[in-house]
Structures are given as structure tokens and as C-alpha cells.
Structure 1
Amino acid sequence: MTSSDLWDAETAERYDESSAFMFAPDVLDPAVDFLADLAGDGAALELAIGTGRVAIPLAARGVAVIGIELSQPMADQLRRKRSDIPVVVGDMASTAVPGTFSLVYLVWNGLGNLRTQSEQVACFRNAARHLAPGGRFVIELWVPGIRRFPPGQEAVPFHVGAHHVGFDTYDMTTQQGTSHHYRRHPDGSVTYGASNFRYVWPAECDLMAQLAGLELERRVADWTGEPFTTDSESHVSVWRRPEPPSRPLEAPAGA
């Protein structure tokens, strides 16, 4: 059993529309460029593939993509758009798929959907199990906005727009959080929705990667490769599964 929120059919049906800003070329294209470069001629596994926001354009670049997705309705939405991208329904911390991959990736804060540290560690280990030697595991994750809390404040806004306002609330004793979404619809109505997460710092991610046998290769602030600094609000991190050491050639008998 997983601790992740499970997205239902209604949420899946409106996902692409409600997340339209994530499909904008200036948001999506750099991510696809980054991942396609790492995949090279190899295959890619996407954890929490959703409706295929990243997988579909990545497959259009010639990368063989397979996905793991917890929500059957989300997987159904993807299959309606591209039936040739295989999707296995299951949780990303334990579900296995056949084969090995040059790239495993998890985008848009997906690691936080696993709401226990043990599940997040298991996710890193599951990614490592699917990697060929020399393969990379990539995550895109926000840096918790805790330092933006003035004394007495209970929430931090992460998006304020004409049609959507979002706030995060944090429990700093458990590293649990909730994203609160208020959306204004064309008819003038406003709806509320919430999703739960566990926040994790970059250094904790590195420890999880180490436990999975992975080595940090690079960390940047975003998909365009901007340097990661103390002021960065997100990071794209790349860990590599090391190549096995080569065995020395044995000298011929009697040499």
C-alpha cells in the first residue's frame, strides 16, 4: 500500500486543462531537451507518467518510453492520446517493469507524492534497479519554501494568477505538507482542491541516492541549466549508476 494521494477519474479528465501552464513550450521544451540528451539511444522509464505531458514529446524525439502510474484513470487518459506508450499501473516505489534503461526520471515534484521517508528511499532504489550501468536517475523537485515563513504565518503562496491561487502549508515536525488550490472557472464559480506531500531537501535526496548505490553527477536550478544556488527555489538533479569496475586481464599461464 502506498501513502500517495490517488487521483480519480474526474481529476484525470480535467488534468491537462487545469495544468495547461505546465504544457507551455517554454516550460516543457527545455525538460524534453534535457531528458532526450541524457537518454541518448537508450530507453527511458518515467515514474508517475500521468497523462504523458513529458513522455509523449519525448517519444516523438525517438526515445522509447515506458511508464509507471499509480492512477488507472490517469493512465487511461495517456492511452487515449498515445496507445503505443506502455504504462504499468502501480506505485513508483515498488513496481517493476521489464528491461533496463539508460534513463529513469521523475518530474514536477513527483517524489513528494510519496509521503513517508521509507517510500522515498524505496523509490530511489527502484529507480536504481531499473538502470543499466552508467544510466541516470533524474528528478525535478522544488526547494521547500519554509524560510519564506515570517513569524506567525501558516501558509506560503506558490502561485497567484487570474484563474488559480495556490498555497502550501507545512508541518515542520513531520515534513508533511498540503497544497491548497483555488480555481476560478469560466462561469465564475470557484472550486477548492488539495493534495498532500512530503517535502525533502536536496541533501536528503543525495543520501537516498547514496543508499541506492547512485552517485550525484550534477544539480542545476532548472531544465535550462541555470546554476543551483542558495536562492534557487527548485532543482533538477542527476544521479548516475556507476559502471562496474573492469577486471584486469589475467597473465597467461607460465608467463
Structure 2
Amino acid sequence: MPPALPQDPPPEAAYAARFAFRYDDWFAPAGGTDTTVAFLVSLAKAAPPGPLLELGIGTGRIALPLAGHGLAVHGIDSSPQMVAQLREKPGGREIPVTIGDFAAPPVDDEPGGYAVVYVANGTFGELITQADQLACFTNAARRLQPGGLFVLDAHLPEALATVSSGTQPVNNSSQDFVLRTRSIHPAQQRYVSDYVVLDDDRLRHVRVTFRYASPGELDLMAAAAGLQLRHRAGGWSGAPFKDSSSYHVSVYELPA
């Protein structure tokens, strides 16, 4: 019997641990940071006074520019490696970050009374059960002050089914070789993104699983958590949400 070939860790092993130092180049949407930040700055002006909380703060791609606008930003993330990248950036050591599950209830030493709680870049979908997604809504509401806002982005299931499957290159600022294959699994209400990355002359496999939900299901989760829909846009640019939209940004409010 031939000897076993050396293998990478299982593909579900956290991409954030293995490739944290390349995340901004490979996985962050090109040109998406400025529009996301502008959208959140506008929301912060319309919300009650108070700090912002990013669920899945990662490398600080969004949080640091928000802090540059004079906003107090806190974060939660499960990956120490991603947060280490945040800490290495200018201003990154000044942002309070809790290491842990962003869908979990607030802990005793976590500052409360947030004006805006947000989760971006499809990270909400990485909660792959309905129970976990509902818990995220519930615990986001617990972290908000009355009149505060919870914001998330998500693909529309119809768009995932029609235009988002198959294999395509991932454009990235480092010009590295990255291919993504997305497969849809309707029976589980999930989609899987498999990335093939050429890293140090070796092909590596990264898998990220997401649970998708319709806007209507998200609205029901929000209502169960005591939140109500305030606005839905067709993206972080603030474009109108309409039949041709493939993506949405939904803003929920905790009634005063």
C-alpha cells in the first residue's frame, strides 16, 4: 500500500486561522469598504448616541475607517488570528474586541447600550442553523439601546440559485491565484464556497459553509427578537431594493 500523501487540515478548518494575513486581499469585496463605511456612518447619525458593535470584526477592515470618522467601535470575533491582524494596523490596538461567538448573549464585562450593531460581508450566513441565526438577532437586540439599529447583509436565495453557482476566479489586490466554486444545497438551505488558493507553490483548499434565508424569514426572526424592519436597501451603496436586486442590506430597529 503506498504511503499516505501529506494533507492539509480539513477544509472546514477555520480559513480565518490559516489565511488571516491574506484575508483582506483575497476575501474582502473589491471597492466595498468605502460604501459600507459610508452607509454605517449615515446610520450612526440617525441612531441614538452611543458606540457601534461589529459582529465578526475580523481584521478591522470596516471598524477602523469607522473609528477614523470619530465613532466609538467595539467588536466580537472568534478568531484570535484575525484580531491579531487588526491589532497590527494603525489604531487597531485602541478598538475593544471580545474573542468569542458573536451570536452568544452579552457577557457581564461587555459594554452595552450600543447604538448600532452590524454584521457585514456575508458573515451572518456563516451561522449555519436557523437556531443560531435567531440567537444572533435575539442577542443583537439585547445589546442595543432603545431606538438602536441592527444591520446585516445577505444574498437573495433566488440570485444564489440562478447566477452565483459554478467556478470563477476571485479578483484580489495581490493578483494571487484564487478560484471559488459555489454550490447550492436547497434541502439544507445552505450554500458552500470552496476556494482553491495557490499558496507558496501549493494548492490549498478552503471551504466556507453558509445558511441562506429569504428576507421574509429574516424579518420573522427579527420580529421574534423584538426588532422591526426599518429599511432594506439593494446593497451597501444604498441603492433601492427591487426585483432585480441580488443582494440586500436590512436595517432593523429596537423600538424605543
TM-score, structure 1 as length reference: 0.83
**Conserved? CA contact 1:5–1:195, under 8 Å:** no
Point out the structure with max Rg over C-alpha: 1
* Distance verdict in 2 for CA 1:161–1:98, change over 3 Å: closer
* Distance verdict in 2 for CA 1:63–1:215, change over 3 Å: same
Residue in structure 2 matched with residue 181 of structure 1 by the alignment: 195
**Conserved? CA contact 1:7–1:73, under 8 Å:** no
- State the SS of the aligned residue for 1:170: strand
Alignment of 1:209 with 2:217, yes or no, is no
Q: Aligned partners of 1:42 and 1:205: how far apart in 2? A: 25
- State the SS of the aligned residue for 1:173: helix
Residue in structure 2 matched with residue 123 of structure 1 by the alignment: 136
Matches within 5 A, 1:73-88: 73-81=81-89, 82-88=92-98
Alignment of 1:160 with 2:169, yes or no, is yes
Q: How far apart are residue 242 of structure 1 and its match?
A: 0.5
Please, which moves more after superposition, 40-49 or 60-69? 40-49
- State the SS of the aligned residue for 2:222: helix
Deviation string 1:6-55 (CA, Å, 9 cap, x unpaired) is 44532212212323x53x4x311111011012113421000010110100
Question: Identity across aligned pairs (percent)?
Answer: 40
Alignment of 1:101 with 2:114, yes or no, is yes
Q: Aligned partners of 1:216 and 1:159: how far apart in 2? A: 34
Give ranges in structure 2 of 5+ residues lacking alignment. Answer: 1-11, 172-176
**Conserved? CA contact 2:66–2:73, under 8 Å:** yes
> In the alignment, which of 229, 232, 240 is matched to residue 253 of structure 2?
240
Q: 2:182 is matched by which residue type in structure 1?
A: D
* Distance verdict in 2 for CA 1:158–1:30, change over 3 Å: farther
> In the alignment, which of 6, 28, 32 is matched to residue 27 of structure 1?
32
Q: Aligned partners of 1:230 and 1:114: how far apart in 2? A: 26
Q: How far apart are residue 74 of structure 1 and its match?
A: 1.1
> In the alignment, which of 226, 233, 255 is matched to residue 239 of structure 2?
226
Residue in structure 1 matched with residue 149 of structure 2 by the alignment: 136
Q: Aligned partners of 1:227 and 1:158: how far apart in 2? A: 29
Q: Aligned partners of 1:31 and 1:199: how far apart in 2? A: 21
* Distance verdict in 2 for CA 1:158–1:238, change over 3 Å: farther
Residue in structure 1 matched with residue 52 of structure 2 by the alignment: 44
Q: Aligned partners of 1:203 and 1:5: how far apart in 2? A: 32
* Distance verdict in 2 for CA 1:206–1:95, change over 3 Å: same
Total equivalences in the alignment: 231
Residue in structure 2 matched with residue 90 of structure 1 by the alignment: 100
Q: Aligned partners of 1:127 and 1:62: how far apart in 2? A: 23
Residue in structure 2 matched with residue 191 of structure 1 by the alignment: 204
Q: Aligned partners of 1:202 and 1:157: how far apart in 2? A: 24
* Aligned residues: CA RMSD: 2.2
Q: 2:144 is matched by which residue type in structure 1?
A: L
TM-score, structure 2 as length reference: 0.83
- State the SS of the aligned residue for 1:31: helix
